[in-house]
Chains A and B, each alone.
Chain A
């Protein structure tokens, strides 16, 4: 540690002489040493470990975790405060994978896709492996994302601004097209649960006009909050199933947890580089788009790596590619999601909005002011996220060892723990019993839907995409009516046409797959019938 500090203090002498190391792009190297001063590194450790714990707690999304830490930064220097916040942001996103894999409760929308294969792996006794894979791929995706933030910020800022209402609308529609294929059992059932999600999203005051829709109880006047909905839809059906099982058989099934050397997991991630690459690329690109990014990056990456994989039928059955793609994507999104904030002072996500507050409190305005007048703050913050990713991976791998003890908890006890976490998590989002009722009713409804073969992931995706599609359509059509008219506004321009092409391709692919599947099954049926005769 001390040698590090010495080494970097040499570099920091250079920066005072204005000796730029290879131009402005490499400026971040000059400030690397600042991360390793005892106080800064201590804060980085606290942020990382605290972030992992907060992230693993259901209901505490990255936005809330960062908001909780803001008061502590009042007394710190600007750079120190941001180190704490940056480290916490990075590791809460990754920490959400812990509850997603072990308990099947996604900590935040970013971790929904992780439950699909991660929890199945845990049920097969591969919980430790799933956690290791998720932390290793998170770190790789995350480091790539921060690198993008360091080297391509000016280019990326333009790209982030290019997405107007019409483009965001098409992007949401693209999300809708993958709803059907998320449910591995049946496209029709996937689409139906997606529709339920889209309907649930309309409940409450509408965001733009303020009209009231489907408000039969004051608890839903603010609409269905995504976090309590997530907790209810994923956790409650499990709790009911576990209680039912615990009653019937007293000899709880013991899952033998397979030991997994860390090196094997790293090798596995490298072997699955297609999933890793798709996850990282999609996470970086989608993370950049203000207002959409974080919530759907994981799901889109999961869906795409499934479509491109030769072993696509293994997805959903505890396939490592599913975990790798989803987790690489949701951490790759962290760096690019800060581009609009740091360059244009526009927070692109709720978490970025909270970070903006953390900067303003110290009188620092993001934008050119930040990089020109406070480069020490800007680069120390960015560097701390880079090193935070690696620290997060190390601590995460340690946590993975605890997977075994979670698997040994008997069903009846586990059900009580999960129920407790679900109640606590949904109440704590905005200290509201209303959210707890919403969580419980959605959860009980989902239990029955699951018995008929519907699944929660497409429903949640509908709930997330509904408002994005609607608000952007309404806003876009208002602009269109005042200017060029609806048709030209939504259907012309390179970006619109590209997005429409991708939407059509996505639909065509699903139809083609469905037809091929149908042909195979009818053939199989025919063979069976012949055999029966």
Chain B
């Protein structure tokens, strides 16, 4: 028995030994897990499932990617887990949402920062938009700001939570227009925030372009402005905030992509960096994303590193007063 165990142990060491020796050429040898720090059915979860659906193809990873949801506290639970408990063996990937996790790490009380993770590639960019109910009297951002100027602190508007893209957009709007408004964070994400706009519980709201696009198509809301540098292909008629005279950049745009925990072997990171962007470019993936109204924006690891650093700087400045 003892001999058998010893033999097995040596065999095992031999196996792992070769894996290390050849620089992870065989990676991945088993299915890979992708942690999403929002619940099943949310926009991040939905998109993560689409962009990873071809992972099993031979020209991609050759192994399927399984989505694991660790929702809670606006993503903090999942990213805390990713930074402290997830194994950095290449079999645990995570989905990031910028500016959310960077804003949270600046605000404090979490165990991660941009340095805790290694980005692999970005798949999507979902700008924030300002929405009002379809029967609202406000028809442009100027109307919104005029009301806020006349009634300081009385214009209620919803968003998906504190220190997420919507909140950043709200802060930028208040700063650029020089007004005080009442931001009401929802505990049910973008869907809850959208419901409160349609039901008339609040006067307006910041929401995801992809969700607002659907709600506007159904005739439930009007979209007054896009918090981005340029107009969006999905909404060619809706002007940006900048066009309407407010100095607001794309700091609130919700970038979604794949990352791994710090400490993941360089060989594995290189392999992922080489295959994952191509996986996002797959025609079937693009088709499904477009059908679901989800804007794609593929970026390489180097571009993402640059974007993270730029965001961190802007957000530090914006959140300094809070």
What residues make up the interface of A, taking CB atoms closer than 8 Å to B? 63-64, 67, 70-71, 74, 161-162, 164-165, 204-212, 218, 221-223, 290-291, 340, 344-347, 350, 352-357, 360-363, 365-369, 430-432, 467, 471, 475, 478-479, 481-483
Judge whether B40 and A208 touch: CB under 8 Å: no
Judge whether A353 and B292 touch: CB under 8 Å: no
Judge whether A71 and B74 touch: CB under 8 Å: no
Judge whether B71 and A208 touch: CB under 8 Å: no
Judge whether B218 and A368 touch: CB under 8 Å: yes
* Interface residue B4 (Cβ < 8 Å from any Cβ of A): no
A475-B184 contact, Cβ under 8 Å, with A344-B220, A345-B218: yes
* Interface residue B185 (Cβ < 8 Å from any Cβ of A): yes
* Interface residue B77 (Cβ < 8 Å from any Cβ of A): yes
Out of B39, B46, B187, B290, which one reaches A471, CB within 8 Å? B187
CA–CA, A62 and B255, complex, Å: 30
Q: Which candidate, B6-14, B153-161, B298-306, B307-315, is the interface stretch facing chain A?
A: B153-161
Residues on B with beta carbons closer than 8 Å to the beta carbon of A353: 39-42, 191
Q: Which candidate, B24-32, B195-203, B274-282, is the interface stretch facing chain A?
A: B195-203
What residues make up the interface of B, taking CB atoms closer than 8 Å to A? 33, 39-42, 45-46, 49-50, 53, 68-74, 76-77, 80-81, 84-85, 104, 107, 109, 153-156, 161-163, 182, 184-188, 191-192, 194-196, 198-202, 214-215, 217-220, 288, 290-293
Could you jot down 20 A-B contacts, CB within 8 Å? Answer: A63-B40, A70-B49, A161-B198, A205-B74, A218-B80, A221-B80, A290-B195, A345-B215, A346-B191, A352-B41, A353-B42, A356-B46, A361-B46, A361-B288, A367-B217, A367-B220, A369-B218, A475-B187, A479-B182, A483-B156
Residues on B with beta carbons closer than 8 Å to the beta carbon of A368: 218-219
Judge whether A222 and B187 touch: CB under 8 Å: no
Residues on B with beta carbons closer than 8 Å to the beta carbon of A222: 70-73, 77
CA–CA, A100 and B37, complex, Å: 30
A67-B40 contact, Cβ under 8 Å, with A346-B198, A475-B187: yes
Residues on A with beta carbons closer than 8 Å to the beta carbon of B155: 482
Out of B70, B163, B195, which one reaches A340, CB within 8 Å? B195
Residues on A with beta carbons closer than 8 Å to the beta carbon of B85: 218
Residues on B with beta carbons closer than 8 Å to the beta carbon of A223: 72-73
B64 CB, nearest partner CB in chain A, Å? 9
A164-B199 contact, Cβ under 8 Å, with A221-B77, A357-B41, A479-B156: yes
Residues on A with beta carbons closer than 8 Å to the beta carbon of B288: 74, 361
A67-B162 contact, Cβ under 8 Å, with A205-B76, A361-B50: no
Out of B77, B84, B214, which one reaches A205, CB within 8 Å? B77
Residues on A with beta carbons closer than 8 Å to the beta carbon of B73: 204-207, 210, 221-223
Judge whether A356 and B215 touch: CB under 8 Å: no
A482-B39 contact, Cβ under 8 Å, with A161-B199, A164-B196: no
Residue of B at shortest CB range from A367?
A: B218
Residues on A with beta carbons closer than 8 Å to the beta carbon of B46: 356-357, 360-361
A475-B186 contact, Cβ under 8 Å, with A346-B191, A354-B41, A357-B45: yes
Judge whether B217 and A369 touch: CB under 8 Å: yes
Residue of B at shortest CB range from A364?
A: B291
Judge whether B201 and A367 touch: CB under 8 Å: no
Residues on A with beta carbons closer than 8 Å to the beta carbon of B104: 210
Judge whether B53 and A71 touch: CB under 8 Å: yes
CA–CA, A356 and B46, complex, Å: 9
Residues on B with beta carbons closer than 8 Å to the beta carbon of A352: 41
Out of B41, B68, B77, B154, which one reaches A347, CB within 8 Å? B41
Judge whether B70 and A430 touch: CB under 8 Å: yes
Residue of B at shortest CB range from A343?
A: B218
B292 CB, nearest partner CB in chain A, Å? 4
Q: With contacts A165-B196, A208-B185 known, what are 16 further pairs, Cβ within 8 A?
A: A74-B53, A161-B195, A208-B187, A344-B215, A344-B220, A353-B42, A353-B191, A357-B45, A361-B50, A369-B217, A475-B187, A478-B156, A479-B182, A479-B184, A481-B182, A482-B155
Closest 10 CB pairs of A and B: A353-B41, A363-B291, A205-B73, A367-B218, A482-B182, A222-B72, A222-B77, A207-B187, A360-B292, A161-B199
CA–CA, A467 and B33, complex, Å: 30
Residue of A at shortest CB range from B85?
A: A218
Residues on B with beta carbons closer than 8 Å to the beta carbon of A74: 53, 288
A479-B195 contact, Cβ under 8 Å, with A222-B71, A361-B50: no
Residues on B with beta carbons closer than 8 Å to the beta carbon of A355: 41
Residue of B at shortest CB range from A346?
A: B195
CA–CA, A206 and B72, complex, Å: 9
B204 CB, nearest partner CB in chain A, Å? 12
Residues on B with beta carbons closer than 8 Å to the beta carbon of A206: 73
CA–CA, A160 and B74, complex, Å: 25
Residues on B with beta carbons closer than 8 Å to the beta carbon of A209: 162, 185
CA–CA, A161 and B201, complex, Å: 9
Residue of B at shortest CB range from A212?
A: B109
CA–CA, A81 and B41, complex, Å: 16
CA–CA, A520 and B174, complex, Å: 65
Residues on A with beta carbons closer than 8 Å to the beta carbon of B184: 475, 478-479, 482
CA–CA, A355 and B40, complex, Å: 10
Residues on A with beta carbons closer than 8 Å to the beta carbon of B153: 482
Out of B42, B72, B199, which one reaches A204, CB within 8 Å? B72
Residues on B with beta carbons closer than 8 Å to the beta carbon of A211: 109
A347 CB, nearest partner CB in chain B, Å? 5
CA–CA, A481 and B155, complex, Å: 11
Judge whether A360 and B215 touch: CB under 8 Å: no
CA–CA, A253 and B188, complex, Å: 49
CA–CA, A220 and B17, complex, Å: 37
Judge whether A365 and B40 touch: CB under 8 Å: no
Residues on A with beta carbons closer than 8 Å to the beta carbon of B186: 475
Residue of A at shortest CB range from B214?
A: A365
Residues on B with beta carbons closer than 8 Å to the beta carbon of A361: 46, 50, 288, 291-292
Residue of A at shortest CB range from B69?
A: A430
Residues on A with beta carbons closer than 8 Å to the beta carbon of B50: 361
Residue of A at shortest CB range from B194?
A: A346
CA–CA, A9 and B195, complex, Å: 39
- Of the candidates A165, A218, A475, the one having the most CB atoms from chain B within 10 angstroms of its own CB is A475
- Of the candidates B40, B80, B81, B293, the one having the most CB atoms from chain A within 10 angstroms of its own CB is B40
Residue of A at shortest CB range from B288?
A: A361
B218 CB, nearest partner CB in chain A, Å? 3
Residues on B with beta carbons closer than 8 Å to the beta carbon of A478: 156, 182, 184
Residues on A with beta carbons closer than 8 Å to the beta carbon of B163: 210
B57 CB, nearest partner CB in chain A, Å? 13
CA–CA, A430 and B45, complex, Å: 14
Residue of B at shortest CB range from A164?
A: B201
Out of B70, B220, B290, which one reaches A345, CB within 8 Å? B220
Residues on B with beta carbons closer than 8 Å to the beta carbon of A71: 49, 53
A435 CB, nearest partner CB in chain B, Å? 10
CA–CA, A360 and B293, complex, Å: 8
Judge whether B292 and A482 touch: CB under 8 Å: no
Judge whether B109 and A210 touch: CB under 8 Å: yes
CA–CA, A344 and B185, complex, Å: 21
Judge whether B72 and A205 touch: CB under 8 Å: yes
A459 CB, nearest partner CB in chain B, Å? 21
A357 CB, nearest partner CB in chain B, Å? 4
A108 CB, nearest partner CB in chain B, Å? 14
Residue of A at shortest CB range from B161?
A: A208
Judge whether B191 and A347 touch: CB under 8 Å: yes
B234 CB, nearest partner CB in chain A, Å? 12
